[in-house]
Chain A
Amino acid sequence: MGRYLLKRLIQAPIVLFLIVTCSFVLVRLAPGGPFDAERKVPPEVEAALNEQYHLDESIPMQYGRFLLDLAQGDLGPAIKYPGRSVNAIIADRLPPTLLLGGYALALAVLIGVTVGVIGARLYNTVFDHASMVFALLGISIPMFVVGPLLLLAFQTQWRLVSPPGEYGPSFAYLSLAALCLAAPFAARIARLCRAGMLEVVNQDFARTARAKGVPEWRIVTVHCLRGALTPVVSFLGPAVASVLTGSLVVESIFLLKGLGWEFVFSAINRDYTLVIGTVIVYSSLLIIANLIVDLCYGLLDPRVRYD
Chain B
Amino acid sequence: MSEPLLQVDDLVVSFTGARRGWFGPRSELRAVDGVSFSVAPGEVLGLVGESGCGKSTTARAICRLVAPHSGRVRFAGTDLLTLTGSALRTARRGLQMVFQDPFASLDPRYTCRRIIAEPLEGFGLASGEQARQRVDQLMQQVGLDPSMADRYPHEFSGGQRQRIGIARALAAEPQVLLCDEPVSALDVSVQAQIINLLLELRRELGLAMVFIAHDLAVVRHVADRIAVMYAGRIVEQAPADTLFANPRHPYTEALLAAIPIPDPTAPAIISQISGEPPSPHQAWAGHCAFAPRCPHATEACHSGAPELITEADGRIHRCPPRQA
Binding site for B on A (CB under 8 A): 2-3, 307
Contact = CB atoms under 8 A, between A and B. Distances in A.
Interface string B133-169: 0000000000000000000000000000000000000
B18 A307 contact: yes
Contacts of B18: 307
A2 B18 CA distance: 16
Nearest to B23: A3
Contacts of A2: 22
Nearest to B22: A3
Interface in B194-218: none
Nearest to B21: A3
A88 B125 CA distance: 75
A307 B18 CA distance: 9
Interface string B3-27: 0000000000000001000100000
Contacts of A307: 18
A2 B21 CA distance: 11
3 contacts: A2-B22, A3-B22, A307-B18
Contacts of B22: 2-3
A164 B22 CA distance: 54
Nearest to A307: B18
Nearest to A2: B22
A292 B18 CA distance: 26
Interface in B236-272: none
B164 to A, nearest CB: 36
B16 to A, nearest CB: 14
Contacts of A3: 22
Nearest to A305: B18
Interface in B17-54: 18, 22
A2 B22 CA distance: 9
The 3 closest A-B pairs by CB, nearest first: A3-B22, A307-B18, A2-B22
A67 B310 CA distance: 74
A2 B23 CA distance: 13
A3 B22 CA distance: 7
A3 B19 CA distance: 12
A2 to B, nearest CB: 8
A10 to B, nearest CB: 13
A123 B22 CA distance: 46
A182 B126 CA distance: 62
A3 B21 CA distance: 9
A86 to B, nearest CB: 40
A305 to B, nearest CB: 10
Nearest to B18: A307
A204 B18 CA distance: 32
A206 B191 CA distance: 42
A3 B18 CA distance: 13
B269 to A, nearest CB: 41
B13 to A, nearest CB: 24
A103 to B, nearest CB: 40
A307 B21 CA distance: 11
Nearest to B19: A307
A307 B17 CA distance: 12
B111 to A, nearest CB: 35
A5 B22 CA distance: 12
A1 to B, nearest CB: 11
B243 to A, nearest CB: 45
B17 to A, nearest CB: 11
A171 to B, nearest CB: 49
Interface string B301-315: 000000000000000
Nearest to A3: B22
A62 B18 CA distance: 45
A285 B141 CA distance: 67
